[in-house]
Structure 1
Amino acid sequence: MAAGTIGQIATPAAGNRVPPGVEWVADNAVFAGNYPGDAEYLAWLAQRADRAAWCRFVVAPDVVADAAATLALSLPMLPRIRALGFPAALVAQDGLERLDVPWDAFDCLFIGGSTEWKLGPAARRLTAEAKRRGKWVHMGRVNSRQRLLYASAIGCDSVDGTYLAFGPERNLPTLLSWLRELDWPALFDHPEGAA
């Protein structure tokens, strides 16, 4: 992480420290069932405001595989995240392609959703539109070379997954070789299971 090859995902539930100068993202821990609630999440972020310069994005609350419910939760939180000095991420979930996407309300499109949806045409089109609008695009649950190649091919800028959590000594060299193959600057390891 100190070399900038991989970044860190921090969550309120994980209790992980965010070292100065390390690129990181803040995840809401909804996927792992550990979202602390809006007020607690914002308080946790406020305690890390001195690390905002190294934060790539903060994930607004979401509902897995449900874009309409995700927008209902995220829309009030996106400006509050930005008000703390952090870039805000909207999680793209199943069905977002059929809704009005509030493109100006967020800085990063986080490709979440069901595996089928995430790897399908709707997520590809949303990624292309996000890139056209100058947004960072991140994909969650990327735990194989094939998925990493796919994320890169559709235009994602970063990914996360649990690959390193299971045998980091063995898996880190493999992961670094995949990143060199793609000439990617960063991959975020997720401590609790990817969003």
Structure 2
Amino acid sequence: MLTLHRAAVLVVDPAAPPVHDGAVLVDGGVVAATGPYRPVAGARERTWDGLLVPGLRNPYGQWLLERAYHPDPREELGSEPLSGAAYAEAFGGEPGELDQERRGGSARRGLQRMLAYGTTAVAGPFELPVVRTAVARSGLVALAGDGAEGGLDPLAGTGLAQAVHRPLAVGGRADFAVFDVSSVAELEAAGAGCCLATVLGGRLLYRRR
């Protein structure tokens, strides 16, 4: 099935000039075409009033999914990952002591929250089988990493060029995100928390309500 994602501004590669009123044509799970918007017969259209960029890479995946804890909404502890004193105050102990069921639930919630930051790839290494399973089922691309500690925003302390997983390319996987800004400079200033939508393998897996 063809889906045409039209955006106010399209960035196919941070090294290339942006395209105003651009579009990405997706055929199933891959990119079929990119460039200035033009209607495509038979394609379903989605129009985004924002900046469409390649999906982002979160380099802190191992820490976020295996060392921190992502609260269940029913626990009324917010959506930010808990660790150290914050976790001890809420539950006592350390998040590293979670049993497999709670660790799996935390990892699944963490992966869902990453999608809300335009993340389409996450860095490991993932040592816990329950976390490896959650990552594999999420559809996010698992990458090598160094286990560094950090947060959910892939743009924190870095620029878009460093945070992009890979440029959008015809024939490549359709992984991208749309943000509620009109330029790369605005995105870098605001951070990835202004994400409107995340598409992973051609599937719209997150859309801000």
Higher strand share: 2
Structure number with greater CO (CA < 8 Å, separation at least 6) is 2
TM-score normalised according to structure 1 size: 0.30
Greater C-alpha Rg: 2
